[in-house]
């Protein structure tokens, strides 16, 4: 639909948890962004699990629910589509959505490899549509505040950093062997699932990554095969066991074009850790610390003391990122779903203005190239320059 109408019909392909998150974000965007040029209207949802699309349509207000995602591409009422299907479908569906002239909001990692992400980017570029990618952690107001402080030199020149994404969602040995654990459908495992977020945060805050070296491991080598459709991280016992084909854990060293160094660690089997995502960034004059679980707080150490310099906790508020569109004063909590509202608003702004806002498929390509470089480094144990990844 034309931006001049003030409204745009949207569709969602894949209605697991993330499909619901995108849908709810669409319904909230106008509530927080009252001056946005485009208002989304829920038109259709597609999911091939019997009954799921129809139930989603009835519950969330889509005009219709269908089993075949291709029907959304042919729908003249739809101008933008969210793709929240499993990773192995990203290339096919994402490319088809763009080729059909629909603007594309797609979840990370955008396929299984950098080649997949590039194929989607090529389709977006050729069609002249706008894109958005689900790197939502960069949207946290505290992260935006940290980015501004780094750019302003508040902590001097960045020297080294740590990015961590530790979770226990796959720690239980009875967890089902879903598509996430298969190489052909889930790609490189925790690299695409969690480390892709870490790579995007590292780039967003510290700039271009020059080279990487990595180590990975599979700590839960077998899981039970599910007997039916799955959603989320279900468990079962006594079934037929299958092999886990992709990685549970990755630890990487990163060198940045500007000279900084960083570590990146991601795990989906970290017992005792629930969404322990964050970073510590050190500079020649200070440091910045952020923990997703305390999303509105930013640890700040600045000054001239250098040694024994204290760290203060700053509660970000209006003026940091889009915080003021959600809460009136500092220290009032925002949540994960709010970050997707910010992401969706940037997507609609891109469509309305014809200029990219927020994370796009180009950022997904950059992340995927970094992950491919990590995978290549496993073959030799040597550093791999991103410029050498085809």
Query: Would you state the torsion angle of the CA atoms of residues 20, 129, 145, 268, taken in this order, to the nearest 10 degrees?
Result: 50
Provide mean pLDDT across the span 48-63. 97
Q: What is the 3-state secondary structure (H, E, C) of the chain?
A: CCHHHCEEEEEEECCCHHHHHHHHHHHHHHHHCCCCCCEEEEEEEECCCCCHHHHHHHHHCCCEEECCCHHHHCCCCCCEEEECCCHHHHHHHHHHHHHCCCEEEECCCCCCCHHHHHHHHHHHHHHCCCEEECCHHHHCHHHHHHHHHHHCCCCCCEEEEEEEEECCCCCCCCEECCHHHCHHHHCCCHHHHHHHHHHHHHHHHHCCEEEEEEEEECCCCEEECCCCCCCCCCECCCCCEEECCCCCEEEEEEEECCCCEEEEEEECCCCCCCCEEEEEEEECCCEEEEEHHHCCEEEEECCCCCCCCCCEEEECCCCCCCHHHCCCCCCCCCCHHHHHHHHHHHHHHHHHHCCCCCCCHHHHHHHHHHHHHHHHHHHHCCCEEHHHCC
Strands 131-133 and 103-106: parallel
306 pLDDT more than 50: yes
Averaged pLDDT score across all residues of the chain = 95
Count other Cβ atoms within 10 Å, centred on residue 118. Answer: 20
Provide mean pLDDT across the span 63-74. 98
Q: What is the pLDDT of residue 3?
A: 40
Q: How far apart are CA 59 and CA 69, in angstroms?
A: 19
pLDDT tens column, 185-212: 999 999 999 999 999 999 999 999 999 9
pLDDT tens column, 313-325: 999 999 999 999 9
| Nearest residue to 279 via CA among 369, 146, 370, 136 | 146
Q: What percent of the chain has pLDDT over 70?
A: 97
Task: Return the minimum-mean-pLDDT range out of 211-215, 224-228, 358-362, 364-368.
Answer: 224-228
Q: Nearest-5° angle of CA 375, CA 164, CA 381?
A: 30
Q: What is the pLDDT of residue 234?
A: 76
pLDDT tens column, 253-297: 999 999 999 999 999 999 999 999 999 999 999 999 999 999 999
Provide mean pLDDT across the span 365-373. 97
Task: Return the minimum-mean-pLDDT range out of 63-67, 208-212, 227-231.
Answer: 227-231
Q: How far apart are CA 385 and CA 374, in angstroms?
A: 10
Q: What is the pLDDT of residue 214?
A: 98
Q: What percent of the chain has pLDDT over 90?
A: 93
Q: Are 144 and 325 in contact (CB under 8 A)?
A: no
Band the pLDDT of 49: cuts 50, 70, 90.
Answer: very high
Question: Could you tell me which residues come within 8 angstroms of residue 339 by beta carbon, excluding any fewer than 6 positions away?
Answer: 136, 137, 139, 140
223 pLDDT more than 70: yes
Band the pLDDT of 239: cuts 50, 70, 90.
Answer: confident
* 227 phi, psi to nearest 5 deg: -100, -5
Band the pLDDT of 113: cuts 50, 70, 90.
Answer: very high
Q: What is the pLDDT of residue 5?
A: 47
Band the pLDDT of 233: cuts 50, 70, 90.
Answer: confident
4 pLDDT more than 60: no
Q: What is the pLDDT of residue 1?
A: 38
Q: What is the pLDDT of residue 11?
A: 98
Q: Nearest-5° angle of CA 112, CA 118, CA 124?
A: 120
Q: What is the pLDDT of residue 226?
A: 80
Question: Could you tell me which residues come within 8 angstroms of residue 234 by beta carbon, excluding any fewer than 6 positions away?
Answer: 175, 176, 178, 226
Q: What is the pLDDT of residue 194?
A: 97
pLDDT tens column, 115-168: 999 999 999 999 999 999 999 999 999 999 999 999 999 999 999 999 999 999
Q: What is the pLDDT of residue 362?
A: 98
Q: Are 102 and 80 in contact (CB under 8 A)?
A: yes
Q: Which domains does the chain have, with CATH numbers?
A: 3-136 (3.40.50.720), 138-332+366-380 (3.30.360.10)
Q: What is the pLDDT of residue 228?
A: 59
| Nearest residue to 340 via CA among 22, 60, 81 | 22
| Nearest residue to 362 via CA among 93, 87, 133, 129 | 133
Band the pLDDT of 230: cuts 50, 70, 90.
Answer: low
Band the pLDDT of 232: cuts 50, 70, 90.
Answer: low
Q: What is the pLDDT of residue 229?
A: 57
């Amino acid at each position: 639909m034309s931006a001049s109408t003030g409204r745009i019909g949207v569709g969602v392909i894949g209605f697991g948890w993330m499909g619901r998150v995108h849908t709810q974000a669409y319904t909230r965007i106008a509530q927080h962004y009252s001056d946005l040029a485009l208002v989304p209207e829920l038109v259709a949802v597609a999911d091939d699990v019997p009954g799921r699309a129809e139930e989603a349509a009835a519950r969330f207000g889509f005009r219709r629910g269908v089993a075949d995602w291709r029907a959304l591409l042919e729908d003249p009422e739809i101008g933008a589509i969210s793709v929240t299907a499993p990773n192995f479908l990203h290339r096919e569906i994402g490319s088809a959505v763009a080729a059909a002239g629909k603007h594309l909001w797609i979840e990370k990692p955008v396929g299984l490899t950098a080649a997949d992400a590039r194929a989607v980017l090529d389709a977006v570029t050729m069609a002249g549509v706008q894109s958005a990618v689900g790197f939502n952690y960069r949207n946290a107001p505290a992260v935006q505040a940290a980015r501004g402080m780094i750019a302003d030199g508040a902590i001097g020149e960045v020297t080294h950093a740590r990015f961590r994404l530790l979770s226990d969602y796959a720690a239980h040995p009875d967890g089902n062997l879903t598509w996430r654990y298969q190489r052909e459908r889930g790609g490189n495992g925790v690299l695409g699932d969690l480390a892709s977020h870490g790579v995007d945060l590292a780039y967003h805050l510290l700039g271009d990554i020059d080279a990487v070296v990595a180590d990975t491991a599979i700590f839960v080598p077998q899981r039970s095969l599910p007997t039916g459709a799955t959603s989320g991280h279900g468990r079962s016992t006594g079934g037929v066991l299958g092999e886990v084909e992709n990685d549970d854990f990755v630890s990487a060293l990163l060198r940045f074009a500007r000279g900084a160094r960083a570590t990146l660690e991601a795990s989906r089997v970290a017992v005792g850790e629930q969404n322990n995502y964050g970073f510590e960034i050190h500079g020649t004059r200070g440091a910045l610390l952020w923990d997703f679980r305390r999303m509105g707080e930013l640890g700040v150490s600045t000054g001239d003391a250098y040694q024994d310099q204290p760290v203060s906790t700053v509660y970000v508020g209006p003026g940091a990122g889009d915080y003021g569109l959600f809460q009136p004063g500092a220290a009032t909590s925002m949540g994960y779903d709010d970050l997707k509202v910010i992401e969706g608003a940037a997507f609609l702004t891109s469509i309305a203005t014809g200029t990219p806002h927020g994370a796009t498929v180009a950022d997904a390509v950059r992340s995927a190239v970094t992950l491919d470089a990590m995978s290549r480094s496993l073959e030799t144990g040597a550093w791999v320059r991103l410029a050498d990844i085809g």
